[in-house]
Amino acid sequence: MRLPDMNDLIQDLQLAKQIAIEDRNPNAIVIATISQAKLLGIEKPQIRDVNADAVQSISDLMDELADDETQRPQLSARIEYAKDDY
């Protein structure tokens, strides 16, 4: 007996998906589709931090605040934002 390869597994899931479609079982359709995506490696979520470049530590913000009093209101707001989110 041989172990199933990727093609065998995908075909089996496609058959399960077809049976689920014929039985009008949306949950089984979704599970079979997700299983196929996992096998093919296309299910992995792409997580990106869109604000990664804008993030500063609170100590960096405090240093900026100490250096320039004209920026104090803006930096104070950024510090409060950082405290709330981090």
Amino acid at 54: A
- Please indicate, yes or no, whether residues 57 and 79 belong to a single structural domain of this protein: yes
The backbone region for 17, taken as left when phi is positive above 0, alpha when psi lies in -120 to 50, beta otherwise, is alpha
Parent domain of 11: 6-40
- The count of domains in the chain is 2
Examine residue 19 and state whether it is found in any structural domain, yes or no: yes
Examine residue 1 and state whether it is found in any structural domain, yes or no: no
Average pLDDT of every residue of the chain: 78
Q: Provide the pLDDT confidence category of residue 48 given band limits of 50, 70 and 90.
A: low
- Please indicate, yes or no, whether residues 34 and 60 belong to a single structural domain of this protein: no
Helix (H, G, I), strand (E, B) or coil at 49: coil
Does the pLDDT value for residue 71 go beyond 80?
no
Question: What does pTM read for this prediction?
Answer: 0.48
